[in-house]
Amino acid sequence: MTRPPLPPFDAESAAQKVRLAEDGWNSRDPHKVALAYTVDCKWRNRAEIFQGRDAIVEFLTRKWDREQDYRLIKELWAYTDNRIAVRFAYEFRDDAGAWFRAYGNENWEFGEDGLMRHRIASINDLAILEEDRLFHWPQGRRPDDHPGLSDLGL
């Protein structure tokens, strides 16, 4: 199985890989998202460190149970042969109705098959008011005409 675009990346293929990852995460389908990673993918997400697709599904299931009305935008920061650096922001509300915007950076490393084999994420949360939300599309894929992070001043 391969997951195009494949490394080595150029600016176009790296940006495409980032958008495909964003689309997957905005689906909020842990099983679908996990297919983008190797079966033994190593993750660090905030303070959690784990490995493997089953752990990814478990993590994402917990995450999206907690983070309701989740909307994510990713933006390419840098790339090399088989690595991509991404910055991102996402908005969500907790079960008490409080809104947050999370800001972060990810470092990705891919195998020749285009599956991610290592993901390192650093993330910070900021409480926001509902009227300060910037991500207003319907649940699912961000529309092509919706502004990205740079366009939103993030």
Residue 3 covered by a domain:
no
Read off the pLDDT of residues 110-131 as tens digits, 9 standing for 90 and up.
999 999 999 999 999 999 999 9
Residue 72 covered by a domain:
yes
Query: Is a pLDDT exceeding 90 seen at residue 1?
Result: no
CA–centroid distance for 4 within its chain: 17
Domain count, the chain: 1
Residue 154 covered by a domain:
no
Residue 150 covered by a domain:
no
Query: Domain range for residue 121?
Result: 11-132
Residue type for position 44: R
Backbone angles phi, psi at 63, to 5 degrees: -55, -50
Residue 127 covered by a domain:
yes
Question: Considering the entire predicted model, what is its pTM?
Answer: 0.97
